[in-house]
A and B are shown apart, each in its own frame.
Chain A
Amino acid sequence: MNRADDTLAVEIWKGGTDGRLAAFEVPLRANQTVLDVVTWVQRHRDPALAYRFACRVGMCGSCAMTVNGKPRWTCRTHVAKVAVERHLTIEPLRNLPVIKDLACDMTVFFEKWQAARGRFEGRTTRHDEVVQLAPDTPARVAIDAGIECINCAVCYAACDVVAWKPDYLGPAALNRAWTLQNDTRDAGQEARLAAVAGDAGCHNCHSLQGCVAHCPKALNPTAAIAGLKRAVFRAALSGDL
């Protein structure tokens, strides 16, 4: 390859699902992130390049892409860590429809979040006392383990079961459901358990842990899903489901 030492060979997905890779040469910089590379290409080579980001500090979950074949949060992924011989291939996330270039349609992902009833359902009003959740109770510890999700859909893209069975709710939504099942203030647990016990629910998970291997927040959706399976089993035994 006849490339200057201070450049990076980058291939970026262009177009919709039937698109193709386009090649760019991008200057190498110290501490450069994959998102920096995409932004450089958009500013200097291809103003029409579509991609998403917002916070650039790993909080908003909007910048996930497939980098050299793996789903990653691009704003916190350093080029030095993932480039192979100064080469990067950047594609949209797997398992989601591509709108254009690196931007995926996240609608299904968030619809499944709702289908798993991944929202808090309170039972008190502002006139009631604030309920305490003691930090050392097992339920609170289980919530803590899963609460830091940023909705980036990296796990969803990594999950083979989502690819095989597109209806499957997926690791992120189920992980969220599990944190709420452990929340003693939540009033929607019965309906939520029924929602995650359905055909598209937790029992589809083969515990392959692709989600765990790729989650940038180092969460463990597999453990959350195993927790849901046990809860469903208990409820089915006692006739509550």
Chain B
Amino acid sequence: MTHPHRNQPLWWAFALHRVSGLGLACFLPLHFLVLGSALNGDAALDGVLAWTESGPVKLAEMGLVFLLALHLLGGLRLLALEFLPWRDGQATLAALAGSVSLVFAFIFMFNVI
């Protein structure tokens, strides 16, 4: 008998902020792993870089850009909410952060293709 009262935009903003944060945290060690492969000579790094040229990886990169932008803009909204005087319309701001992040992701996509 629990009734979570979650169906509202700011709950989703919170969930996406969490998920994007976790996603980025998982990506970071992989990123260092790739950079670290340069220590084993340039062939190793070039091998990985060639792999990142493939379609699915490019798509995943687009997702990464989206998560990064979302976490950045969402985080700025939260910082403003906590440190500046209160401002109404937080749901609109969260939606704005989401849409701008999507735009970033698409710009990235069109630039790399």
On whether A213 and B1 interact (CB within 8 A), knowing A208-B10, A226-B82, the answer reads no
Q: Which segment, of A66-74, A168-176, A187-195, faces chain B?
A: A66-74
Answer whether residue A209 sits at the interface, using C-beta atoms and an 8 A cutoff: yes
Whether A209 lies near B83 (C-beta < 8 A) is no
Q: Which residues of B contact A163 (CB under 8 A)?
A: 2, 4
Q: Which residues of A contact B91 (CB under 8 A)?
A: 209
Q: Which residues of B contact A59 (CB under 8 A)?
A: none
Q: Roughly how many angstroms separate A94 CA and B3 CA in the complex, as a whole number? A: 7
Q: Roughly how many angstroms separate A207 CA and B8 CA in the complex, as a whole number? A: 12
Whether A226 lies near B86 (C-beta < 8 A) is yes
Answer whether residue B51 sits at the interface, using C-beta atoms and an 8 A cutoff: no
Q: Which residues of A contact B4 (CB under 8 A)?
A: 94, 160, 163
Question: Shortest beta-carbon distance, A2 to chain B, in Å?
Answer: 28
Q: Which segment, of A28-36, A40-48, A50-58, A227-235, faces chain B?
A: A227-235
Q: Roughly how many angstroms separate A19 CA and B1 CA in the complex, as a whole number? A: 9
On whether A71 and B5 interact (CB within 8 A), knowing A206-B14, A207-B90, A223-B86, the answer reads yes
On whether A66 and B78 interact (CB within 8 A), knowing A209-B10, A223-B86, the answer reads no
Whether B82 lies near A160 (C-beta < 8 A) is no
Q: Which residues of B contact A19 (CB under 8 A)?
A: 1
On whether A69 and B3 interact (CB within 8 A), knowing A206-B14, A209-B10, A226-B86, the answer reads yes
Answer whether residue B6 sits at the interface, using C-beta atoms and an 8 A cutoff: yes
Q: Roughly how many angstroms separate A33 CA and B77 CA in the complex, as a whole number? A: 39
Q: Roughly how many angstroms separate A24 CA and B14 CA in the complex, as a whole number? A: 39
Question: Shortest beta-carbon distance, A52 to chain B, in Å?
Answer: 18
- For A93, the closest partner residue in chain B by CB is B3
Contacting residue for A17 out of B1, B6, B78, B82, CB 8 A: B1
Q: Which residues of B contact A233 (CB under 8 A)?
A: 83
On whether A91 and B14 interact (CB within 8 A), knowing A207-B78, A227-B86, A230-B83, the answer reads no
Answer whether residue A113 sits at the interface, using C-beta atoms and an 8 A cutoff: no
Answer whether residue A9 sits at the interface, using C-beta atoms and an 8 A cutoff: no
Q: Roughly how many angstroms separate A123 CA and B83 CA in the complex, as a whole number? A: 31
Q: Which residues of B contact A69 (CB under 8 A)?
A: 3, 5
> B residues near A, CB below 8 A?
1-6, 8, 10-11, 14, 78, 81-83, 86, 90-91
Q: Given A94-B5, A157-B5, A210-B8, 12 other A-B contacts at CB below 8 A? A: A91-B1, A94-B2, A94-B4, A158-B5, A160-B5, A163-B4, A207-B78, A207-B90, A209-B10, A209-B90, A213-B8, A220-B86
> A residues near B, CB below 8 A?
13, 17, 19, 66, 69-71, 91, 94, 157-158, 160, 163, 206-210, 213-214, 220, 222-223, 226-227, 229-230, 233
Ranked nearest first, the 9 interchain pairs of A and B with the lowest CB-CB distance are A223-B86, A158-B5, A209-B10, A69-B3, A208-B14, A208-B10, A208-B11, A229-B82, A94-B3
- 7 residue pairs of the A-B complex, CB under 8 angstroms, read A207-B82, A209-B10, A210-B6, A210-B8, A222-B90, A226-B86, A230-B83
